[in-house]
Structure 1
Amino acid sequence: MTAKQRILVTGANGQLGSELKDILLQRSDKECYFLDRKQLPLDQTLLIQDILGMYEPDLIIHAAAYTAVDKAEQEPELADRVNHLASEEIAQYCRQHGTKLIALSTDYVFDGESQEALREDDPVGPVSVYGRTKLLGEQAIQKWAPDSIIIRTAWVYSRYGANFVKTMVRLMQERDKIAVVNDQIGSPTSASDLAQAIVEIIGAPEWIGGIYHYSNEGELSWYDFAVAIRDLKGFACEIDPIPTSAYPTPAKRPRFSLLDKSKIKATFGVKVPHWRDSLRGMLAADGR
């Protein structure tokens, strides 16, 4: 009888962690542990390796992060501890124990000035504390556990947690008119689709480490995304397109963060749904 693969997921209560739980708990061939921030406090880096050692995982899916992009500008040390130093501890554990690692990263490692879909080997240049700390996390993982798989993603949403889609649904029910920026371009990511892609990678015949990009297919602005949400929900709310300059935030956002998914599709045969299909599915499942 083959031993069950032991998988440990960080960020258990986040969007991706929740979607992974929905899929992995159905699998009888996996023994899964889902750790939240109380069970694995990433800001207490000295504890991390000992906690991981209690579970002896064959594979870690590191989905937890400090993701409060604007707050990170005021809390750079905490963001660095969680996104960078904690990732380093996890990577060191994986190196010492022969544990495989899939870690989640972000489009914020780029400066947002590209004109074409971003490839994994394009130059990085984060413009925010959050982006810098995530990039340092990537670099630490590649240093200590070079066989790891790092997946950069963008504009994540889900039935779970707080996100743009759920915020828009709430605002459109409360207001007759809202304004949304129309000069930041990318493609959203259904956390459900991303979780499915990760499970496919885990089951692939060959483990091929490296950096990969994943978001849904298509290209749009946040304004376009908001209009699609409104139309699919049948709301009457008026949406005004505005430039980023009219909506200042403490942290700078990448102006262009469309990700090229060619590598992950070619390497692992991952299917990437179009953003509109995935949005339709999420709104139907959410039932608000």
Structure 2
Amino acid sequence: MDPSRLRFRQHLTDERAHYAADCWDAEVYSGRFGWVEIVGIADRTNYDLRSHAAHSGTSMTVFIPYDEPRRVVKRRIVADMGVLGPRFRGKAKAIADALAASDPGEDGARVTVDGEEFFIPADLYQVREEEVEVRGEEVMPHVIEPSYGIDRMIYVALEHSYAEDEVDGEVRKVLRLPPTVAPVQAAVFPLMNRDGLDGIARTITDRLTRCRILAQYDDSGAIGRRYRRQDEIGTPFAVTVDYDTLEDNTVTVRDRDSMEQVRVPVERLPEVLSALISGAATFHELKV
């Protein structure tokens, strides 16, 4: 994927989801579709846990202990049960508990119990401040939610990797996939399908496969056509067994992107290809 065609865009307030405090999209430019979202990243804060806690009555917090206890001033809301009890009867205790966890205004507090909202006037409770020792705090975790569009990523990666150039008056189609993700990492060709060249090529293919290199044997058609087929499916390297191989036990390794070639001893071929595929070596270094 081309980094120069990647951007991050922040959602405007009117397009942001109701649960998100902030939201960003990773977008990639496609020649066919324009700017396409491939990742959405939403700051959901503690919206989900707050909603679960509000509707289930179950605490959704986690206790985080401090390294050392702290002395802090806390505000405590104490209901006047002598008045609250007769007025609200069976719900008085639940209302008092909700009141203790509320943040009242100057004239009173609004609390919700069993889905019903109550307004408690300020004269029905006392707000007391007291110094207490605190060993930690209850925290409701926040969530950052990334959402990935895998099919879009694959499409754009293929589109960005595709290129066309002209070779010998013909259009060459090339899929410039990184070697680590190419479905075929090395194609192995016998120059001719006779004189033992094909047998050597098959042996090399088997050896590369055992070395965990995605290798493919191909002896169909002229050598130039085989190169073009492999270029089009993104194969980064092609190995050709020719008549020189019978003399000096070397093969030709061709680079897909530059179309340059270099001779490599057969015994070093798995080592060389592994280094090229992983990026530990470059084709230019190999030629030098």
Identify the TM-score tier after normalising by the shorter chain.
under 0.3
Whose radius of gyration is greater, 1 or 2? Answer: 2
- Point out the structure with the larger strand share: 2
When normalised by structure 2's length, the TM-score is 0.22
- Point out the structure with the larger helix share: 1
Q: Which has the higher contact order (CA 8 A, sep 6+)?
A: 1
